[in-house]
Chain A
């Protein structure tokens, strides 16, 4: 197994705070079996004092003709991915969306004509300030392989969706990382080279709890692996091994 999308994305976003989100998506399409990637953020706080009046922000690798068609036809109002996605906490598998309504069926038919892969997965993101987002991947796989792809990649894509959302937020408002005592504890021992079971013994916690704190710390640091998390916590002086 190579790198996951989150790991790859986290490396790039971590190395360059101003990384262009669309460029990131294009890099991912080049490296993984993803044919298109789209981020749609809603009520994104574009200034520290704009928490209640955020803006909609979108990045997509879809072709210009499809984007124009989508806007011109006001497809946003019938696109079931958008209609459901911003209310749901569950990822939306495009292949399982109901298509009884004629408008919806025509919409997906047209998307296909414009070369949009019907194997799509849209992951909802909820933030703490009333901000939310939807990250969609369209994947170049066969019908037969699609369910397996979703099962194997749903956690990675969900995680990546949040990494992208915080990256987008960080372009507008300062993002402060605050770790809890336990999160700092487990990172400190990881930084000193201890394994999860060794850390569990030292802190008198169960190994599962240690892993839980490590993954929570990684999420706050925008990291996708333990190694990335440790490196970032040290460079931010949150941990001093």
Chain B
């Protein structure tokens, strides 16, 4: 099931903690990003703390286990591509558009993905992107921009998601290659995702 919730919504504390731990495992342990992880093993940054982002989460059917998540911020306010990684946008520069949100901290729980069959990671990837697309579409958005490393870019491509690169490949941290991506928000994109994989449709069903 799909959960969209703002950081201040304490009733989702347990899911948020699962998400911050998944982020720590994905970004610090597996990919060696230079991110801060607290004593409870949670990766929480200034955007989580100060700017009340909206989280898009895929949960197990009973709503108890987090399967995948990402974070949304409006480009009109503080966001990563403007304030942390402007180089990634190259000549595209800084985006300030009321109808464009930024997605960041995309991650999929690879252990949980195994329970979805052999290509479970693709099912969850399509599911979370379908959830992103639906949430953005309902709010009238036209595009999502995103910053991620080439590892995530590969997952997106393999899952059949059409994300265009904007800007150059930039190396951060331990030579980690980072790119900016442009994702279209439309009924068609949402339909396509659900058609490639009916599991994506089931995952975002209420």
Contacts and interface: CB of A to CB of B under 8 A. Distances in A.
A219 interface: yes
Interface residues of B, number: 35
A219 B96 contact: yes
A89 B98 contact: no
A93 B91 CA distance: 37
Given A87-B52, A180-B92, A181-B91, A216 B164 contact: no
A132 B184 CA distance: 26
Residues of A contacting B: mostly: helix
Interface string B70-106: 0011101110001000000001111111111100000
Interface residues of A, number: 31
Contact of A159 (B8, B53, B99): B99
Given A212-B143, A215-B143, 6 more contacts: A90-B139, A91-B139, A91-B140, A128-B82, A182-B93, A216-B97
A171 interface: no
A180 B182 contact: no
25 contacts: A88-B54, A89-B53, A89-B73, A89-B139, A90-B4, A90-B139, A125-B98, A127-B76, A127-B77, A128-B76, A128-B77, A128-B78, A132-B77, A155-B140, A158-B98, A159-B99, A180-B93, A183-B93, A209-B164, A212-B143, A212-B182, A215-B99, A215-B143, A216-B95, A219-B98
B18 interface: no
B25 interface: no
A69 interface: no
A76 interface: no
A209 B182 contact: yes
Nearest to A163: B98
A158 B139 contact: yes
A76 to B, nearest CB: 18
Nearest to B83: A128
B85 to A, nearest CB: 15
Contacts of A158: 98-99, 139-140
